[in-house]
């Protein structure tokens, strides 16, 4: 992927932590001008310092993707300063609450839908419009293995990730003749701070019990690394995947084979 991203403008939503942060740093290493967004100003500025060591023109724009006005401001800022958008990785998402559907709350449902589903939808609208104006571009959405099948304790999370995959495939068809490619990544269990917080909150089970159960689900017998997802995102955004669109790339250590 040498020079694939040099001086290209890349947006990473949710770029202040986890998979989003790792992908943002990976894009910066490849010479991209990286714009990260997130809800935490202080954390965003801390991560931006790391990114700017690799790509000085990069920036952080605060944005809560559940707020349509803030999403609009995010893209207005990109347009005003850069006048282009080459690639986007929609990695932002609310943290999952693991519990049976009957124990889930309407507040958690509303948060997941607002950030994961509606936020991704709103970002894709702006991204596609910006890329149409330029005549090409690539978008990668962060779905999950839960978006391809059901999962005990993850009904809301699974529903939102199914929706993201549906939007990805539908938009990919709409944009196939416009040199805009749209794909998704479907990570399995990835070792991030968010995963640890989720494992600590499973009702009636200890963190270690949940961790051990998770390992039993993975044929490769280990959790994935954020870098392993980031590599896939960069490939899908690069010219090396020029004939790939509407695809859901599974990164799960073999879980889907069972």
> Apex CA 96: angle with CA 90 and CA 100, to 5°?
140
What total number of domains does the chain contain? Answer: 1
159 lies in which domain range?
A: 9-190+226-250
pLDDT tier at 198 (50, 70, 90 boundaries)?
confident
Q: Does residue 81 lie in a domain region?
A: yes
Of 111, 96, 134, 133, the C-alpha closest to 65 is 111
CATH of the domain at 138: 3.40.50.720
User: Is residue 243 flagged as an active site residue?
Assistant: no
Distance separating alpha carbons of residues 71 and 92, to the nearest angstrom = 12
- 164-181 pLDDT, tens digit per residue, is 999 999 999 999 999 999
- Would you state the pLDDT for residue 17? 93
- 210-243 pLDDT, tens digit per residue, is 888 889 889 999 999 999 999 999 999 999 999 9
Distance separating alpha carbons of residues 161 and 113, to the nearest angstrom = 10
Q: Does residue 199 lie in a domain region?
A: no
Asked if pLDDT for residue 87 goes beyond 70, the answer is: yes
Q: Does residue 215 lie in a domain region?
A: no
157, 198, 237, 241: the active-site residue? 157
Asked if pLDDT for residue 42 goes beyond 70, the answer is: yes
Q: Does residue 91 lie in a domain region?
A: yes
Q: Does residue 240 lie in a domain region?
A: yes
Distance separating alpha carbons of residues 254 and 147, to the nearest angstrom = 16
- 134-167 pLDDT, tens digit per residue, is 999 999 999 999 999 998 889 999 999 999 999 9
Asked if pLDDT for residue 28 goes beyond 90, the answer is: yes
Alpha-helical runs (H) found in the chain: 18-29, 41-52, 68-82, 106-112, 120-134, 155-175, 193-199, 207-216, 226-237
Q: Does residue 1 lie in a domain region?
A: no
Asked if pLDDT for residue 4 goes beyond 90, the answer is: no
- Would you state the pLDDT for residue 206? 84
Q: Does residue 129 lie in a domain region?
A: yes
Q: Does residue 39 lie in a domain region?
A: yes
């Amino acid at each position: 992927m040498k020079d694939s991203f040099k001086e290209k403008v890349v947006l990473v939503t949710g770029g202040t932590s986890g998979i989003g942060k790792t992908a943002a740093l990976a894009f910066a290493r490849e010479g991209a001008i990286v714009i990260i967004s997130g809800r935490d100003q202080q954390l965003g500025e801390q991560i931006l310092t790391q990114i700017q060591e690799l790509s000085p023109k990069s920036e952080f724009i605060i944005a809560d993707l559940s707020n349509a006005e803030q999403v609009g401001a995010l893209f207005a800022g990109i347009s005003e300063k850069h006048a282009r958008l080459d690639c986007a990785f929609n990695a932002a998402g609310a943290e999952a609450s693991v519990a049976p559907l009957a124990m889930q709350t309407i507040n958690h449902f509303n948060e997941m839908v607002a950030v994961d589903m509606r936020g991704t939808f709103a970002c894709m609208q702006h991204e596609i419009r910006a890329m149409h104006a330029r005549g090409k571009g690539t978008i990668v959405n962060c779905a999950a293995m839960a978006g391809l099948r059901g999962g005990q304790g993850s009904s809301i999370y699974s529903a939102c990730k199914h929706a993201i995959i549906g939007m990805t495939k539908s938009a990919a068809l709409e944009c196939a003749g416009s040199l805009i490619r749209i794909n998704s990544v479907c990570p399995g269990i990835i070792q991030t701070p968010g995963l640890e917080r989720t494992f600590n909150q499973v009702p009636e089970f200890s963190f270690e019990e949940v961790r051990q159960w998770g390992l039993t689900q993975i044929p490769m017998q280990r959790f994935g690394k954020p870098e392993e997802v980031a590599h896939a995102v960069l490939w899908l955004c690069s010219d090396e995947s020029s004939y790939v669109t509407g695809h859901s790339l599974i990164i799960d250590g073999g879980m889907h084979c069972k």
